[in-house]
Amino acid sequence: MQAVDAAELGKVLFDFSDPAAMKGWQIEDDGVMGGVSKGIFSRDPDGYAVFSGDVSLENDGGFPSVQCYFDPVDVSSYRTAIIRVKGDGKDYRFIIESEKDARHYYVAEFTTNAEWQEIKIPLRKMYPVRRGDRLDLPDYPAETMAQVRLMIANGRAESFRLEIASIRLE
């Protein structure tokens, strides 16, 4: 588990130009429920992270993800998550857990293209989900954060590649 100190948080959660930003990130694929999708998280020599792999629908699968847990931090002074990415034209999910071992998480979907782009996600518009099902609960209160995750789950068997330069808050 990577610790994120609120005093050091500032605006930047992860800047992948620094190799140390890779620490604590873990792949979690649909193998946790019998699927066979395969995600890989690596660092490109040019200074960005790469989340890539293959989505398989076999055995009721369909998602690879990469996540980083950390001690809960106060994010109440921020309104927007900004993810600098270069994608493959596919849709991805940005996911936040507000506390460690939360029973549900908050999701925002975004579409990529082949150029570097800044995806701006209003934190308080992220909706609650548990095990893939949208919940009838309030949207993310944006008070604390204890996990960040990126996921692809488009209901299609496909290869994917998402390059990530940074994740920050404003």
Distance from C-alpha of 147 to C-alpha of 36, rounded to nearest angstrom: 24
> How many whole angstroms from its chain centre is CA 25?
10
What CATH number is associated with residue 74?
2.60.120.430
pLDDT at 11: 83
Residue 7 has pLDDT above 70, yes or no: no
Q: How many separate domains does the chain show?
A: 1
Query: Is residue 141 included in any domain, yes or no?
Result: yes
DSSP label at residue 142: -
pLDDT at 84: 97
Query: Is residue 54 included in any domain, yes or no?
Result: yes
Query: Is residue 1 included in any domain, yes or no?
Result: no
Range of the domain at 151: 6-169
Give the number of C-alpha atoms closer than 13 A to the C-alpha of residue 153, restricted to the C-beta side. Answer: 23
Residue type, 113: N
Query: Is residue 58 included in any domain, yes or no?
Result: yes
pLDDT digits (tens, 9 = 90+) for 117-167: 999 999 999 999 998 889 999 999 999 999 999 999 999 999 999 999 999
Query: Is residue 114 included in any domain, yes or no?
Result: yes
pLDDT at 2: 53
Residue type, 141: P
pLDDT digits (tens, 9 = 90+) for 81-121: 999 999 999 999 999 999 988 899 999 999 999 999 999 99
Residue 68 has pLDDT above 50, yes or no: yes
pLDDT digits (tens, 9 = 90+) for 8-64: 445 899 999 999 999 999 999 998 888 999 999 999 999 999 999 999 999 988 999
Query: Is residue 67 included in any domain, yes or no?
Result: yes
